[in-house]
Structure 1
Amino acid sequence: MGTHDGTRRRASAETPAEQVTTAAGVLAPTIALGAIFLATVLSPTFTWTSEPLSFLGSSGEPTRPLFNYGLILGGLVSLPFAARLVGTARNRLESVGGGAFALTGVAMALVGGFPMGTEWHFPAAVSFYLLLSVSMWCYGGGNLLAGDRRVGATTVGLGLLNLLTWVVYVAVFAPTGLSLALPEIVGALALGGWTTATAFRLF
């Protein structure tokens, strides 16, 4: 009971600035995922089984501006929400998770800022997917410590889903030549869904 009452009290006491930073948690994944899916539709050559998602932002592709700027903007918009996560943290682990989420947003922006084919694209992409899981494990662990067992377990599970998807891909599907797009979108959807759901909880 205490957790739900506390959430309602925080929501009712939110200032306009806090409401804006919370809304960023809905806007950021909408921008990033919207740009990704729209780019897959508009690309004349992309297929889910043969090309990684970053192909959509590579040199010569007509979807390059849409894909790259979508990731950059989505990553930057996620930063105010990261500040909101830290500001509403109930313990140190939730605060660390919010900080890791900020780094995840920065990594997302760097994936768009350093498109496929450039020197820093691979480190940025790897950092994004690693930080995705780390931020969920930390924030979800903080949820568990605060008594939010269902939410915490779901958050930790989504971070684990991202990791296991990559392990299965590398062990089973990479040797077949299947593209990175499928494990990439699993992680992106996990992050986007969690960010949106968490923002609504904070509202």
Structure 2
Amino acid sequence: MAAPPTERAERDASDLVRALGAAATLFALGGVAAAILLDPTFSWTADALSDLGVRPRSAPAFNWGLMLGGAAGVGYAVGVWATSARRGVGVAGRAALLALAMVAMAGVGRFDLTEPLHAPAAIGFYALLTATFAVDGALRRGTTTGALALAFVPVHVAVWATFLAGWWPVTGLALPELPGAIALAAWVWFVGPLPVAGRGSARLDGDRTDEH
């Protein structure tokens, strides 16, 4: 039996939003990976990821990957809000924080290390991403995926706190930057309110219906 038109439309909308989430992470992480492969001088211990954005061989892949990923990510943020069964302040706040994080991520690509707006964009991305995890985890704290999202917060804070305290045996920012990028991908694909891998997320939550 075919699904009712309304149900089918809602499913199609959710699929579109998931596609935007997948595109956001694949553009961003794919661009970073491609840039690393294109730059044989890149060092995980001495460089920041953003160094890839100023070197001629790697800059196009790195910068365009982040800009395209950020654009898709804004669409994903809006879509998560639009397809949510709840439209309270918390849900809107989560969408706004995620959208701003994606704008900041695009800003990292748009404004390279030589630009004065680069540092605010980079700091804003990681701070806004952490805030997104915190709000999302609080909203869905009764689910396994919500608890995982909330757990990302102290882990991400600890990464930067220990690096800034000088506990890491590296001089570059690339390694402490990596956990945030991985956490974003994990949240979009598995842990967030409308994950790309929807069925896997449902299994984590015991097949509970989450109104995200």
- TM-score of the superposed pair, with normalisation by structure 1: 0.85
> Cα distance, 1:71 vs. partner?
0.2
> Cα distance, 1:89 vs. partner?
5.6
Select the residue among 72, 79, 83 that pairs with 1:84: 79
> Which structure exhibits the higher relative contact order, with contacts defined as CA atoms closer than 8 Å and separated by 6 or more residues?
1
In 1, are the aligned partners of 2:39 and 2:57 still within 8 Å (CA)? yes
Note if 1:190 corresponds to 2:186.
Answer: no
Select the residue among 153, 162, 165 that pairs with 1:168: 162
In 1, are the aligned partners of 2:17 and 2:80 still within 8 Å (CA)? no
Select the residue among 46, 50, 68 that pairs with 1:50: 46
- The share of aligned pairs that are identical, in percent, is 34
**Higher helix share goes to which structure?**
1
Match of 2:174, as an amino acid? A
Note if 1:94 corresponds to 2:87.
Answer: no
> Cα distance, 1:81 vs. partner?
1.0
Distance 1:89 1:138 in 2: 17
Aligned partner of 1:138 in structure 2 is 135
Match of 2:66, as an amino acid? L
Aligned partner of 1:25 in structure 2 is 21
Superposition RMSD on alpha carbons, in Å? 2.1
Structure 2: runs of 5 or more not aligned: 1-5, 200-212
Match of 2:150, as an amino acid? V
1:177 to 1:201, Cα distance in 2 relative to 1, 3 A: closer
Select the residue among 127, 143, 151 that pairs with 2:145: 151
Match of 2:78, as an amino acid? A
Structure 1: runs of 5 or more not aligned: 1-9
> Cα distance, 1:28 vs. partner?
0.7
* Total equivalences in the alignment: 189
- TM-score of the superposed pair, with normalisation by structure 2: 0.82
Aligned partner of 2:57 in structure 1 is 62
SS state at 1:118 partner: coil
